[in-house]
Amino acid sequence: MNGISFELTVGELAARSGVAVSALHFYERQGLISSRRTAGNQRRYRRDMLRRVALIRMAQRVGIPLADIAAVLATFPPDHVPTRADWRRMSEVWRDELDQRIRRLQQIRDDFSDCIGCGCMSLDRCPLINPGDDLGRQGPGPRRLIGD
């Protein structure tokens, strides 16, 4: 044997991926990654889990909810190593959602840019963002931010 292990301990996976051990345990409880247990009940991860963890972190970084990440990862067999084509397909699944989020953020930015210098400092009286207190009639909460 050449001394190369095809499995990683949780500490090795954490060190190589830059993700805390507690986060890896959480990902495993959520079904995002998997491990096998040794006779001593220690976790062992296949090396391809590094790719899954990288994908999870990248998707989280751009704001994709873990439930959406899990749904996409669930379409692959447990022992499947994602290919370039798989990564492309995953990005296409999330592209529309990301584009919508970008448009929403740009609209919020533009709306608040118009408010600079206005001085009203109150959404219930703001003629630009809330003419006639329309938001107040929709109920409590951040209606404008959540798109209701």
Q: What is the pLDDT along the chain (148 residues), one digit of tens a residue?
A: 455 678 999 999 999 999 999 999 999 999 999 999 999 999 999 998 998 999 899 889 988 899 999 998 888 877 777 788 888 888 888 888 889 889 988 887 877 776 666 666 666 666 666 666 766 677 776 666 666 5
Question: How would you write 71-123 as a 3-class SS string?
Answer: HHHCCCCCCCCCCHHHHHHHHHHHHHHHHHHHHHHHHHHHHHHHHCCCCCCCC
Instruction: Enumerate domains of the chain plus CATH numbers.
Output: 7-100 (1.10.1660.10)
Query: Which residues pair with residue 8 across a beta bridge?
Result: 45
* Separation of alpha carbons 138 and 147, rounded Å: 11
* Separation of alpha carbons 69 and 90, rounded Å: 9
pTM of the shown model = 0.68
The one-character DSSP state at 9 is -
- Look up tokens 């062992």; give the residue: 44
